[in-house]
Amino acid sequence: MTLLDRVKAAGLPAHVGMIMDGNGRWATARGLPRNAGHQAGVRTAERLIRFAGRRLGLRHLTLYAFSTENWSRPEAEVSFLFDLLRWFIAEKLAEFVAEGVKVTVFGDAAELPPALREEVARVTAATTGNDRLWLNVALNYGARREILRACRAAMRAAVAGTLRPDGLDEEAFSRLLYTDGMPDPDLIIRTSGEVRLSNFLLWQAAYAELHFTKTLWPDFTAAEFLSILAAYQERERRFGGLVGGER
């Protein structure tokens, strides 16, 4: 039995989050401009999406593509990233439709360039009925902003009289987040050797298993992904409780 077969037989996580880090360092190490690293990173994302949906059968995958903090990067780099994302969405739209990939975008779309907003609207509308792989792209996303957005929605509902303060429990609050309708991530992976969440799915990650790899994102492979999943399956998840006769 192959590692792929063993991982699938052992039971997959319901939702995996990926913090795709290291494009710039990958390019610099090769004497290339940073944009070459972003191009290589997009190809890695393409391979992972295809592998996760076609061969692995993963149901929910969230990719951290552009954070609210990334606006501090040079304007030319930000512009290149948006053009690259727009090209990627347009290039893969037909494949997403054919492969049953449902694309959802987390984040504040109002701040994105109009051409990218149009492409995002097009792919989400075209794939809304798909259910093989739910692909979430965190774009102009920050978890603190997401939580504030949910708080404001709860406040508006309270003012309108449709929500009582004591009716706002964790389940109700979760329905106000971008991840409404999907499970919290069981596993979050970050590449490049950095050991932090960087404002990614902070509410949803309360009990996620974390894995940090020194591999730079463009070098991340399906084989390493499988190895991480196999290691995740060996962890004992207790969610704050005890197991067996432990006291």
Q: 86 is written with which tokens?
A: 């727009």
Task: Estimate the crossing angle of helix 34-50 against helix 222-233, to 10 degrees.
Answer: 60
Residue at token pair 């950095």: 194
Contact 209, 232 (CB under 8 A): yes
Contact 20, 65 (CB under 8 A): yes
CA dihedral sign, ordered 203, 224, 58, 133: positive
Contact 49, 135 (CB under 8 A): yes
Which one from 70, 83, 108, 219 is the annotated catalytic residue?
A: 70
What DSSP string describes 120-186?
HHHHHHHHTT--SEEEEEEEEE-HHHHHHHHHHHHHHHHHHTS--GGG--HHHHHTTSTTTTSPPPS
Residue at token pair 């059968």: 57
Which one from 21, 140, 186, 199 is the annotated catalytic residue?
A: 21
Residue 70 annotated to the active site = yes
Strand partners, 62: 17, 136
Residue 136 annotated to the active site = no
How many angstroms separate the first and last alpha carbons of the chain? 38
**Catalytic residues, which ones?**
21, 70
